[in-house]
Amino acid sequence: MTNKETKDLLSGTELARELNISSGRISQLITKLELSDTLIKNGNKKLIPKDTEKAIRDYFNSNSESHTTSSNSDSLIAVNEELNKRIEELIKDKESYRSDIEEQKRTIASLIQSNYLLSNKLELIEPLKDKDSDKDELINQLKDELKESQAKNNRGFWSRLFGGR
């Protein structure tokens, strides 16, 4: 064959580059499709005739489409499974947070009731304050307890909710 006749023909390496596969894969396809006899030797290169090139391209395209489809399907299934696992984790977290919030609400209600009871005790003690010094000490002690209790109850919402200080 002359140079003009082989000018438009591709080598296995060139075809592999176009198809974005290895030249070894082109050799495998040529062997698999029994097209070795159709190759044209030009110096130290073997060129692929147009009809052989078309057969290789057709085979590659038909197989890569089915491979891509199953690969995409497998990927989508894996992503779907991962998302379902993550959703389950988030639902469990949500339930856990809800129970924590309910517990904190009960704690806050208890602290409010305790503060109310201590305030009532303080109101009962105030009139006794003037009677004598022993009672004064008792009153001061109860006031200190009340102030400590109120200081605990005067913490910020988040601090009470998550147990800071």
Tens-digit pLDDT profile for residues 28-43: 888 888 888 888 888 8
Please report the DSSP string for 82-147 in residue order.
HHHHHHHHHHHHHHHHHHHHHHHHHHHHHHHHHHHHHHHHHHHHGGGGGT-HHHHHHHHHHHHHHH
Beta bridge pairs of residue 11: 47
Tens-digit pLDDT profile for residues 92-119: 999 999 999 999 999 999 999 988 888 8
- Predicted local confidence at residue 39, as pLDDT: 86
Q: Is the pLDDT of residue 16 over 90?
A: no
Q: Is the pLDDT of residue 130 over 60?
A: no
- Predicted local confidence at residue 65, as pLDDT: 47
- How much is the mean pLDDT over the chain? 80
In 35-144, where do the E strands start and end?
Answer: 40-42, 45-48
pTM, entire model: 0.37
Domain ranges of the chain: 1-48
CATH, range 1-48: 1.10.10
